[in-house]
Amino acid sequence: ELDAMSDEELCEVVLTHNVFARASPQNKIRIVKALQAKGEVTSMTGDGVNDAPALKAANMGVAMGKEGTDVAREASEMILADDNFATIVYAVKQGRVVWDNLRKVLLVNTPINNSQGLSVLLGLLVSLPNTPITAIQILYSNFICAVTLGFVTAIEPAEDGIMVIPPRTVGKRLIGRFLFLRIVIGTCLLTGCVVGSAVIINSHSRYDYLDMKGREQMMRACAFNVLDFGAMSVMLSARFAYNSSVHPRAFMGNPAAVGSIVIVTVLQLVLTYVPGLNSFVFGMRGLDWFGWILVLLSMVIVFSVMEIEKAIRRGLKAKGADTDDRTTPFFTDGPSEAPGPASMTMPKGASKLNLQELSH
């Protein structure tokens, strides 16, 4: 039946039929080419010489490692070491986990890094007597805080339902519309809270007993802690792409989440209160109870707004909105044009192989 079909007919049949029995080598490569002509991403598994052309033509050729021939392995992009098809499913799952975690790392680290520079700029624009955070505080937040919190999302386990999600759009980049929006929101929240807390400390009458240097040190102590504790809120929200973090799950499933919070908290307290280290090295002084209220309030604001955005996006997805950029070519290379039936030919060099049809 396949031999009697034209290329145009085969392109329609491959979208409605899942099983093709007793396919010849020529049939296999036509099926692969037909799927590609309809814009599908194809994977082909095989072990023999006859499978090599289709393995080479597929987007992902998978050869058997134990029983496969050298020709099949050479034509493939991946070799299945244990010859177990279930391993392919596991590999796809791990690939999706890596993709998701890379996006989560960007969501954590990018707002932290952006807010460091923007806080200095915005602080000068609002006429603060000096920068709200010092250069050494920026270096610490960049190399210690951001790395520690970003490490959590880099080793996140797979989220529930990760294998139910359809494949991502061909050419899609790591940052899409909604990830870009979340990064912007996180950056604005952290920057606003850092500069806002600095302005409050600098103008509040309760610190009138301090001289200019003392008020500046108190301002920087508050802004520094707002930045790093606010980064914790971003990390807790970023752990889940759609699921709410207002749940015990935010502290479960990944021991590094709790560990990173403990490490950063202890380091912040040490840097804030150890004499000499706080004043001489980091240019700040011990924070009082009012400053800690500002820190906690900033954490709540950052976390709440990030979760509200996530809830809105979750609702849009439930209504069928494209919140994963599957059809919208934003920050993507755009879907490649599907080849027409005219391109459904044997790959270069395939004619030199001794192709054998299955005997009937």
pLDDT digits (tens, 9 = 90+) for 261-274: 999 999 999 999 99
Check if the beta carbon of residue 222 is closer than 8 Å to that of residue 197: yes
Per residue in 106-129, is it b (16+ CB within 10 Å) or e — as a string?
Answer: bbbbbbbbbbbebbbebbeeeebe
pLDDT digits (tens, 9 = 90+) for 39-78: 888 888 888 888 888 898 888 899 998 888 888 888 888 8
**C-beta of residue 316 within 8 angstroms of C-beta of residue 323:** yes
Three-state SS string over the chain comes to: CCCCCCHHHHHHHCCCCCCCCCCCHHHHHHHHHHHHHCCCCCEEEECCHHHHHHHHHCCEEEEECCCCCHHHHHHCCEEECCCCHHHHHHHHHHHHHHHHHHHHHHHHHHHHHHHHHHHHHHHHHCCCCCCCCCHHHHHHHHHHHHHHHHHHHHCCCCCCCCCCCCCCCCCECCCCHHHHHHHHHHHHHHHHHHHHHHHHHHHCHHHCCCCHHHHHHHHHHHHHHHHHHHHHHHHHHHCCCCCCCCCHHHHCCCHHHHHHHHHHHHHHHHHHHCCCHHHHHCCCCCCCHHHHHHHHHHHHHHHHHHHHHHHHHHHHHHCCCCCCCCCCCCCECCCCCCCCHHHCCCCCCHHHCCCCCCCC
Model confidence at 336: pLDDT above 50: no
The fraction of the chain above a pLDDT of 90, given in percent, is 49
Which of 313, 175, 299, 185 is closest to 244 using CA atoms? 313
Give me the pLDDT at residue 157, please: 92
> What is the average per-residue pLDDT within 195-214?
92
Band (pLDDT 50/70/90 cuts) for residue 328 is low
Site of tokens 């052309």: 53
Average pLDDT of every residue of the chain: 86
* Helices 255-273 and 146-154, axial angle in degrees (round to 10): 180
Tell me the C-alpha distance between 64 and 78, whole Å: 9
pLDDT of residue 236: 94
pLDDT in tens, 241-263: 888 899 888 888 899 999 999 99
